Every structure is written in C-alpha cells, then in structure tokens.
Amino acid sequence: MNDLTTYLDTRGLPDRLTGGARRIPIDTPAGRHFVWTKRIGNNPSLKVLLLHGGPGSTHEYLEAFDSFLPSAGIEYYYYDQLGSGNSDQPDATELWHLDRFVDEVEQVRRALGLTPQNFVLYGQSWGGLLAMEYALTHPGQLLGLVISNMMASAPAYTTYAESVLAPQIDQAVLAEIRALEAAGDTDNPRYLELLMPNHYERHVLRLPASEWPDPVQRGFGHINPAIYVPMQGPSELGMSREARLAHWDRVSDLERITVPTLVMGAEHDTMDPDHLREMARLLPHGHYHHCPHGSHLAIYDDQEVYFSGLLDFLTGLARSPGSE
C-alpha cells in the first residue's frame, strides 16, 4: 500500500465492520492484488459503481457525490482502480491495459453483489472509456450506464485537442509546451506552470488553481504516472501516438449498448460536446445532458446543473420496471 497506511486490511470483513470500506481481491496475470472500495448508502434497487478518471487517478475528486446522492437515497461505491489511491500499486507494467481493467471491474461487480436489476456503472473521463468498454464486454450485467466527459474515440479526442483547444493557447506558450513534450521533460515544473492558466483553468476546472476544491487537489496529487503515461501519454493536449489507448475507437459499436445511457458533457470541456451529443444519438437509449458553464470537471464548476441531470437519470432508473 502507499502512504495511506491508516486503512486497515479489511479483506473479508463485512461492510458494517469497516465503515463501508472493503479491500477486494483481484486476480491478474501478475498474481492476486487487492483494490479498495467504499459503500455509501443502502438501496437494494439502485447501486452505482463510480469509475474515476486518469488512468491512474483516484476516487478522491468524486467526493462531490457526497453532497447530492445520499439525500436522493442512492447507494454508491467509491473504488480506486488497481495501481491507484488506496488500492495495491504493483510494479507491473503488463497490467496497465484496457482489457485487464475491464476484467477488474467485472471482478469488483461480482464481489459487491451488483446485479442487472440494480447495477449502474458511472465513468468520468478515462472512467467513461472504461465504462463503455465494460458495457460492450458484459452487456447483460447493467441496469444503466453513465458516460461523463468522455468521447467514444481516442483519435477524435486527439484531433479535437490539436485542432480546437491547442489553437486557443498563445502560440509562443504552445511552442514551449510542445518543446517540453518533445524533450520528454513534462516533469519539469515549467510544464505545469504553462498548462495551468492556459489549459487546466480553461478546460479542466474553470477556477483559479488556488481555489480548486480539496478533493480535486488531493486527486491530482495522487495520480500514478506509471499508469497514466503508458496508457494516455505524457501530453495533456491529446493522447500521444504511442500511448496504449491512442487508437481506441468505439463509435461504430455504440449501437450495441442497449441499456439506458446518460452522456454528460460541458461547453468548455476537453471533450468535444458535439461528439458527445452524437454519441447519445447513436446509443439506442441514449440521453445527453449539457453543462453550459462547465468544463472537464463540471462536477464542480457547473455542479448544480451536472447533478440535477445525473439525479434525474438515476431516479428514473430506480422507477423503471427493470429495477424491481
């Protein structure tokens, strides 16, 4: 485990003895490891598993859910994916592949006892990509799906970043950013110094960095680059061509996701809102919810609009015949 050593090894103990937290065993090609989950609330007919972004981020920035879902009577689960946060962090690069993460989600679902009558999968950013892939791989396990701030095509995302977002940056600044990326020097403090006002504060969270909420600060501080870089690449303006996810594209497969699906986007997002609208159109039971003042983390910078749409969708699922 990492520096969060105050967590007890709760494997095998019931939720009532661990404050809702559990460490779930996951079998991988590199042996058995444990991932951390935490249940909030109790609703037998509606259980939402939250997939955080990254890859390699943590559940922490999703703590905004605590201000909205409990009062609506919705049960939900925080979950740090393997390699992240409170979960085991093995030094095993062969584990950081999409198919293995999909298998991990399925093992977590089974361990938590989530069923097609009550299981809703929510994914934000990379978590949305993972959620789409899970829905295509295990189509019979879901009551509903939420894809938040994630396009269905990595190449389309990179094109949007390069053709729409990057040109909004002062060209001298952009040249310096690209030079640091080309030199493999993205750990240089100057890289973040350039990106923060020119990209992050415009398209990731539209607040001055000094005002970013504590859960966001903690989440960013705990990103695991050993996962993020090989899967996404070091660049923050699109995926690197050599990244493992660089060619991922499921646009033509969206028609195979037949459960009710909410696609969530924002006007100032890193993800193209027009692409997200088209995703909702292609999904057989898709709905689009737009946050006009939000960015990639509309969960914070257009919070009331974001959660009103999410709660409308979730409570609608709870009333549907399939949730009985």
Query: Is 296 noted as a catalytic residue in this protein?
Result: yes
Is residue 235 very low, low, confident or very high in pLDDT (cuts 50, 70, 90)? confident
Angle at 140 between CA 63 and CA 126, to 5 degrees: 35
**Alpha-helical runs (H) found in the chain:** 98-112, 126-137, 154-160, 171-182, 189-195, 214-221, 225-232, 273-282, 298-301, 303-318
* Domain membership flag for residue 23: yes
For residue 185, tell me if it sits in a domain.
Answer: no
**pLDDT higher than 60, residue 175:** yes
Tell me what the pLDDT averaged over the chain comes to: 92
Only one residue has tokens 């409570």, namely 315
From 269, 272, 301, 302, the catalytic residue: 269
> Which residue's structure tokens are 């015949």?
321
pLDDT at residue 11 greater than cutoff 50: no
Active site residue: 296, 301, 302, 323, which one?
296
Q: Report pLDDT digits (tens) over 72-108.
A: 999 999 999 999 999 999 999 999 999 999 999 999 9
Half-sphere exposure of 190 toward its Cβ, with a 13 Å CA cutoff? 13
Between helix 126-137 and helix 98-112 the angle, nearest 10°, is 70
Instruction: Calculate mean pLDDT across residues 32-41.
Output: 98
Tell me the residue range of the domain where 77 lies. 15-156+245-323
Active site includes 125?
yes
CA 90 to chain centre: 21
Considering its fold, how many domains does the chain have in total?
1
Q: Taking the mean position of all CA atoms in its chain, how far away is CA 115?
A: 21
Average pLDDT over residues 225-239: 92
Tell me whether residue 19 is in a domain. Answer: yes
Q: Is residue 225 part of a domain?
A: no
Q: What is the model's pLDDT at position 323?
A: 54
Over residues 124-143, the mean pLDDT reads: 97
Model confidence band, residue 12 (pLDDT cutoffs 50, 70, 90): very low
Q: Which position among 57, 84, 87, 125 bears the catalytic label?
A: 125
8 has a pLDDT exceeding 80: no
DSSP at 123: E
* Domain membership flag for residue 263: yes
Is pLDDT of 114 > 90?
yes
Mean pLDDT over 24-33 rounds to: 98
Residue of higher predicted confidence among 243 and 13: 243
CATH number at residue 55: 3.40.50.1820
- Confidence grade of residue 217 (pLDDT, cut at 50, 70, 90): very high
Asked whether residue 111 is assigned to any structural domain, the reply reads yes
pTM of the model: 0.93
210 tagged catalytic: no
